[in-house]
Amino acid sequence: MSIVQFLRILWVRRLLILLAMVSVSSGAILVAKILPPRWEASSRVMINTIKPDPVTGLVLGAAARSFLQTQIDLLTDYRVAGQVAEQVGWLSDPELIDAYQRRSKKDDRDFRRWIADTVIKNTKATNVDGSNIIEITYTANKPRDARAVADALRKAYVDTYFELNRDDATKTADWYDGEVLKAKAALDTAADAKAQFERQNGIFLQDDKTDVETTRLRTLAGQATAAPALTIAPTTSAASVQLADLDAAIAEASKNLGPNHPELMAMKARRANLEAVVQSERAAQASTRGADPGAIHSIDRALKAQQSKVLAQSDKLVRLQQLQNEVDLRRELFTKASSKAADYRLQASIPESGVTLLSSATTPSSPKFPNMILIVPGSIVLGLAMGVLIALIVEFFARRIRGAEDLRTIIDAPLIGIIEKPGQTRARSHWRSRLRAIWPRRGSMVRA
Residues 13 and 58 in one domain: no
46 falls within a domain: yes
331 falls within a domain: no
Residues 17 and 56 in one domain: no
Q: Residue 363 carries which side chain, given as an amino acid letter?
A: T
- In the prediction, which pLDDT does 212 show? 57
Q: Which of 357, 390, 410 is the last residue of a domain?
A: 357
- In the prediction, which pLDDT does 66 show? 82
Contact status, residue 109 vs residue 78, Cβ threshold 8 Å: no
- pLDDT per residue, tens digit, the chain (448 aa), is 678 778 888 888 889 999 999 999 899 888 888 888 888 999 999 887 665 555 455 555 556 778 888 889 999 999 999 999 889 988 888 988 999 999 888 888 999 999 999 999 999 999 888 788 899 999 998 888 899 999 999 999 999 988 988 898 899 999 999 999 999 999 999 889 888 887 887 776 665 566 556 666 666 666 556 544 443 344 556 666 677 777 777 777 776 777 777 677 777 777 777 777 777 666 666 555 544 555 556 666 666 666 666 666 677 777 877 888 888 899 999 999 999 899 888 888 877 767 888 888 887 878 887 778 888 889 899 999 999 999 889 888 877 776 666 666 667 667 666 666 655 555 556 556 655 555 554 444 333 3
Q: Which of 326, 357, 388 is the last residue of a domain?
A: 357
d(CA 351, CA 158): 12
- In the prediction, which pLDDT does 1 show? 64
- pTM, full prediction: 0.58
Residues 44 and 22 in one domain: no
Residues 44 and 170 in one domain: yes
d(CA 160, CA 164): 6
Residues 70 and 155 in one domain: yes
Contact status, residue 80 vs residue 74, Cβ threshold 8 Å: yes
Residues 46 and 136 in one domain: yes
Q: Residue 341 carries which side chain, given as an amino acid letter?
A: A
- In the prediction, which pLDDT does 48 show? 78
- In the prediction, which pLDDT does 252 show? 73
d(CA 362, CA 152): 12
- In the prediction, which pLDDT does 306 show? 61
362 falls within a domain: no
Residues 164 and 55 in one domain: yes
Per the DSSP assignment, residues forming a β-bridge with 40 are: 139
Residues 399 and 306 in one domain: no
- In the prediction, which pLDDT does 263 show? 74
Residues 416 and 299 in one domain: no
- In the prediction, which pLDDT does 446 show? 38
217 falls within a domain: yes
d(CA 344, CA 348): 6
204 falls within a domain: no
| 91 DSSP 8-state letter | G
d(CA 25, CA 33): 12
Which residue, among 269, 381, 327, has the nearest Cα to 28 in the 3D structure? 381
Residues 47 and 162 in one domain: yes
Domain that holds residue 111: 40-174+347-357
Domains: count for the chain: 3
322 falls within a domain: no
C-alpha dist (Å) from residue 234 to 278, 281, 286, 366, 445: 12, 10, 8, 104, 145
